[in-house]
Amino acid sequence: MKYAQWLKRDPVRNCFLLPNEIFLLGLSPGALAVYSYLLCCENRQTYQCWPSYKTIGNAVRMSANTVRKYVCELEERQLISTESTTVTTKAGLKRNGNLLYTIRPIQLALDQFYEQQLAQMDAAAERHRAATALALRSEKCNSA
């Protein structure tokens, strides 16, 4: 059996970095897969890419509608932003093109996530205070 040499990988060309903080955000597995694919496709200078829902779906084994759902989730979490594009056909007609995805800095998404968590904790603390005050009031009314 002949020894086959493996090609050396160019770290800049054949891989992409996925920030560790992405796992703190509680993304669904599908959203994580779509985000990973978008990172794989992005232009490293402009942080943009424009694959179609169908292309993303073929890569991550999902339907276009499912991909659309996860893209909306990523937009809500401020991990990406999207813009509509237009394409001019040979006949001169304007048609809708693919979405232009811009990968946003992970820190913005983390800041939003932490603010949401703090707001939830504040709301829970306020509910607890109100329940405690209501319980004290009902005890006073029952004892009188």
Lowest-pLDDT range, 6-10, 13-17, 47-51, 130-134?
A: 6-10
Is 70 exceeded by the pLDDT of residue 142? yes
Radius of gyration of the chain from its Cα atoms, rounded to whole angstroms: 24
- Which neighbouring-strand residues pair with 102? 48, 81
Which residues on adjacent β-strands are paired with residue 95? 87
> What single string gives the DSSP state of each residue in 79-90?
SEEEE--EEE-T
Backbone angles phi, psi at 102, to 5 degrees: -115, 120
Eight-state DSSP code of residue 20: G
Tokens found for residue 57 = 């779906």
Residue type, 59: A
What's the pLDDT at 136?
Answer: 85
pLDDT in tens, 84-139: 988 888 888 898 888 999 999 888 888 888 898 999 999 999 999 998 988 888 87
Summarised one tens digit per residue, pLDDT across range 1-10 is 455 555 554 5
Between CA 46 and CA 1 the distance in angstroms is 46
For residues 46-55, average pLDDT:
94
pTM of the model: 0.75
Phi, then psi, of 55 in degrees rounded to 5: -65, -45
Residue with tokens 């983390």: 110
